[in-house]
Homo-oligomer: A and B are copies of this chain.
């Protein structure tokens, strides 16, 4: 146990974050800030704001120097922000004061931390995209393969009507597909920041707009065309998006936990979850992790919303809050995707158990269909009342509802009321998702 499970040597593998984990280390952050300082010097040199030779020296140094995060800790604790210490250490390590003086020229700490964050978020989104595609592909495969595999649909955890496992896979997948399509907009929302101490770029030369545009191009980020120190739109958009990702996967986790329950066992999850004292048990560990991540991420996303309320031209408390929760939120999203991918690839519906559930329900899931059939013989309210009575009788006597209905109403043909006959649009829902999942998102996504 560390502050968060993600960093724990003991628990880390319970919440695997893949490549995203490496982006939220101290060294990755320091590296990203140095890249920003280097690129800034380069564009300032090209613009004649600082000597070209100094710019080159700084840029080169930004790629070569190694700064130890721990060495910046004392000053970061004092200043609240690591940039002053980083700039100072950078300058010293360069051992060329005539060039080093141009490091961080006219920028403010937030320009550096925000731009460095955006650089890492671009990578985060790249990894998310890959992981999300894997999850969607796994769901599409399940949807396709089981488009016509009957199972009980459940509302309020009660048997409702038949559906197919493929339709359930589609239901898991659609929200993710929506989120996948929104990725393009998130990417173009990764902005460069360059507007100085209070957003007015007053120490950034005669044409700060052009400079910002150059920096954006150098770092392959978007130029928002303005200052955005207190406008946390890119962060808030991402936070809400991740909360929806983890929420969608938490539903998957909950559904799988329920379907794996001892009384149901309609899915096989693969071999995890030993108990320390009960030899027979297999716990749905990965689904439980998904549920947990959804809950945790939901809380973090709300705190992030609060952090978006930057007073005046910068707010220390809001800023620190963002630093506290955004990494965890990104890691939670990553862990959810990294957990869901293999889980879905190893997931197998137990079709015989699904069939047994349907059989065991003794026609109860056909009740709606039977009531519509009866409504062809009598007014609909009467048909509904008749079915209610039949359902009660069947439940009490243990009789099969379809058989009972056929006995009482000769117009009823049992073969029309098998689960397979009552799938409705479930197969089409499943195949529709599989098809949509195969369409690549529009350019940029």
- Which of A40-48, A125-133, A372-380 makes up part of the contact surface? A372-380
Give the bracket for the number of chain A residues in contact with chain B: 35 or more
Answer whether residue A97 sits at the interface, using C-beta atoms and an 8 A cutoff: yes
Q: With A and B bound together, what is the CA distance between A6 and B10 in angstroms? A: 17
For residue A317, CB closer than 8 A to chain B, the reply is: yes
A95 sits at the interface (CB 8 A): no
Distance, CA A106 to CA B161, complexed state (A): 13
A263 to B263, CA, bound (A): 6
Q: Are B202 and A161 in contact (CB under 8 A)?
A: yes
Interface presence of A406 (CB below 8 A): no
* B305 contacts A317, C-beta separation under 8 Å: no
The stretch of A55-63, A134-142, A215-223, A253-261 that contacts the partner chain: A253-261
Inter-chain contacts of A320 with B (CB < 8 A): 5, 14, 288-289, 292
Asked whether any CB of chain B lies closer than 8 Å to the CB of A310, the reply is yes
Partner of A163, one of B69, B83, B198, B255: B198
Do B284 and A156 have beta carbons less than 8 Å apart? Answer: yes
Question: A175, B231: Cβ atoms under 8 Å?
Answer: yes
Complex CA distance for A26 and B402, rounded to whole angstroms: 40
Which residue from chain B places its CB closest to the CB of A432 in the assembled complex?
B226
- B-chain residues with CB within 8 Å of residue A195 when the two chains form the complex: 425
A276:B325 contact, CB within 8 angstroms: no
Q: At the interface with chain B, which of A71-79, A344-352, A407-415, A437-445?
A: A71-79
CA distance A387 to B277 in the complex (A): 11
- A201-B424, A285-B316 given; 15 more Cβ-contact pairs under 8 Å: A3-B331, A4-B7, A10-B26, A10-B72, A79-B274, A154-B314, A155-B281, A156-B314, A157-B260, A161-B197, A175-B231, A178-B231, A196-B424, A226-B429, A243-B305
**14 CB-based A-B contacts, threshold 8 Å:** A4-B328, A10-B30, A13-B76, A14-B320, A153-B313, A158-B281, A195-B425, A226-B432, A262-B361, A280-B367, A280-B391, A292-B321, A295-B303, A298-B303
6 smallest beta-carbon distances between A and B, as pairs? A13-B77, A202-B424, A288-B316, A153-B198, A200-B424, A291-B317
